[in-house]
Amino acid sequence: MSEGMVVSEGRITVEDVVCKTGIDELDVQLDGGIPVGNTVLMVGSSGSGKTTICMQFLANGARQGERGVFFTITEPLFKLTKNMQGFDFYDKKLIESGMINLIDLRIISERLGLDAEKYTVEDASALLEVLKDIADELNVKRLVIDSITALCYRLQTKEMIRDFIFKLGSSLAAMNCTTFLTSEVPPNEVKYSQYDIEEFIADGIIFLGDVDRSGDLIRTLQLIKMRGTAHSRIKSAMSISSKNGIELTPLLKSRA
């Protein structure tokens, strides 16, 4: 962390250089938080907790006065809010006050007159402009796209995917906005992205998996990479509960 940096307006604080997820154990593993402006892939199979951790990231930020936006593609808004109401970290007031903005990307692309299935290069850049405008106008510091896999599916070539994520990431970084992109992968595979590109462009990868312990599945979280910080690479056990949302503790390893 660059705590010693000094600029003319005064000292840069830790908060200016790292974005705290607000999940304590995760911030410790990140050596303080995510470097501001990073684009992070939240990778996991179905039901691994990607949406939940992203929403908790936004809620924690909103409580610190950082505005966030959540673009959903996979889940309609009413289902998303219904699922999130089960968690104590979720507070309707954060939505009502505009500290968290929930936006259905399918509705945006419909309004732009884009094909629902496949985007042309022009479609992709139109969509990109809209995303950037929204982020800029709302002055958001935290942004989520759930999921980037579904978005990539509509981009037809690897070049388009690379271009889209790269441009999105650099524009948001310029706005000091930290971004989570959820990435869906098949269960029990060590694979971080569907199209093998997302992971190379992203600044960070957080992997949600599970381990089998005598037939019971234990959720796990592991930091695979995070540019700009000396992070831990240990595998943690992860719990999802209504009361505390996402929580981590070191995974106990059976040597048997």
Partner 1 sequence: MTNTLIDGLKERVSNAITINQSVGVILPGNNYSDLIQALFEHIHSRSEDVWVYVTITRPYESIFKQFGDLSSGGNIKFIDCISRAAGLPKIDPNCIFIESPAHLEKIIMEILNIFRNIGDNVQKYLIIDSLSSLLIYNDAQLVTEFFTHLTNRTRLSDIHSVSIAIEEEMSDNINKIIYLRSDKIIKLRESFI
Ligand X SMILES: Nc1ncnc2c1ncn2[C@@H]1O[C@H](COP(=O)(O)OP(=O)(O)OP(=O)(O)O)[C@@H](O)[C@H]1O
- Measured CA to CA, the distance from residue 254 to residue 256 in angstroms comes to 5
> Which of partner 1, Mg ion, ligand X, none lies near 60, with the C-beta cut-off 5 to 8 A by kind?
none
Query: For residues 51 and 56, which CB has a smaller minimum distance to Mg ion in the complex?
Result: 51
- Binding segment for Mg ion (CB under 5 A), chosen from 8-16, 49-57, 79-87, 105-113, is 49-57
Asked if 184 touches ligand X (CB under 6 A), the answer is yes
Asked if 183 touches ligand X (CB under 6 A), the answer is no
Asked if 51 touches Mg ion (CB under 5 A), the answer is yes
- Binding segment for ligand X (CB under 6 A), chosen from 109-117, 151-159, 171-179, 236-244, is 236-244
Q: For 220, phi and psi rounded to 5 degrees? A: -130, 155
DSSP classification of residue 119: B
- Measured CA to CA, the distance from residue 109 to residue 105 in angstroms comes to 6
What distances in angstroms separate CA 105 from CA 39, 211, 224, one per listed residue? 19, 33, 28
Sign of CA dihedral 129, 131, 134, 137: negative
Rg for the chain, CA atoms, rounded: 18
Query: For residues 93 and 243, which CB has a smaller minimum distance to ligand X in the complex?
Result: 243
- Measured CA to CA, the distance from residue 184 to residue 190 in angstroms comes to 12
Which of 87, 89, 192, 207 touches ligand X by CB under 6 A? Answer: 87
Asked if 198 touches ligand X (CB under 6 A), the answer is no
Residues in contact with ligand X by the rule CB under 6 A? 44, 46-52, 74, 86-87, 184, 240-242
